[in-house]
Amino acid sequence: MARANLLVPALAALLVALALASLAVGYVPLPPADLAAGLFGGGPAAPIVQEIRLPRTLLALAVGGALGLAGAALQGLLRNPLAEPGIVGISASAGLGAVVALYFGLAALWPPALPLLGMAGAGMAALLVLLLASRAAGVLALVLAGVAVSSLAVALTALALNLAPNPYALSEMLFWLLGSVRDRSQDDLLGALPWMAAGAALLLAAGRGLDALTLGEETAASLGIRLGRLRAQIVAGTALAVGAAVSAAGAIGFVGLVVPHLLRPLCGHRPARLLLPSALGGAQLVLAADILVRLVPTRTELHLGVVTALVGAPFFLALLFSLGRR
């Protein structure tokens, strides 16, 4: 119990340290004095800190928090440690919406089209799952619906890439799909942050229902938990949080799988206690990965989606083997 109570303050302190490191690390390292002056609008480093590094750091924090929180909530809802935001098709559908904006050149003509179509894709996927949840479908049906929606979104995305009108459009779509918070402005951050905050609020408010659901659906219902409403709340929260995150940063996978699994033993295996630590842990993972891509000496900066996949894919396989032995 004491360990669980200390977990959130410890994660928050580590997150602050990583955020400061993210602001200091870059092509031009900043000493602490210049960094502090730049944060408050003074000194020659102010444009670098406030216009380039601060939006990048805050976006990485917000995206990681949204992905980690959504993963913990979905794992609690589906009672499956392998669940992550992509399992209900929301991540893939958000990616499809953004690819459509890039494919037809809408993002170049009107920049807000990219996040709006990304969230529209996530919203359509969420509506399909919400429709199923409103008919009191079981968990297995929700998972199968998510797999079907995700597979269709991936197929349509591949079709758009295959029919790209020119090499520049293809490279732009591929660049975005790899996932990154590089070269993001304050407008990108402000356009996505309210949606992620709204989704996070819905997910955090579902903690009591997720705790009751661990006792079984019938017991949860007898305790006054409305299962259809709980499913709709989590799916809607995931649609807002993950849809906005994918629209702003592209595809960054495995955060919602790795972080909740690592933190679950420290939270007493209670879904409600896992939600906030997973948000903090997800923000830490994405921030640490973004710092890493700036430190690795490569000709071009690595993408966040590549780094998280290199970490998450082996972790996923190890988790599969572990569950198989059980």
Is residue 37 a contact partner of residue 215, using CB atoms and an 8 Å limit? no
What single DSSP character describes residue 302? P
Q: Say yes or no to pLDDT of 102 above 70.
A: yes
C-alpha pair distances (Å), 58 with each of 87, 208, 296: 26, 29, 21
List, for residues 173-192, the tens digit of each pLDDT value.
Answer: 777 778 889 888 888 888 88
DSSP H stretches of helix in the chain: 2-24, 32-39, 46-47, 54-78, 90-103, 106-109, 113-134, 139-162, 167-177, 186-204, 207-213, 217-222, 227-249, 255-263, 271-295, 304-325
Non-local (6+) Cβ contacts of 85 within 8 A are 67, 70, 71, 74, 91, 238, 242, 256
Single pTM value for the model: 0.90
User: What is the pLDDT of the chain when averaged over all its residues?
Assistant: 85
List, for residues 10-29, the tens digit of each pLDDT value.
Answer: 999 999 999 999 998 887 77
List, for residues 212-254, the tens digit of each pLDDT value.
Answer: 988 888 888 888 888 888 988 988 898 889 988 998 898 888 8
pLDDT of residue 134: 57
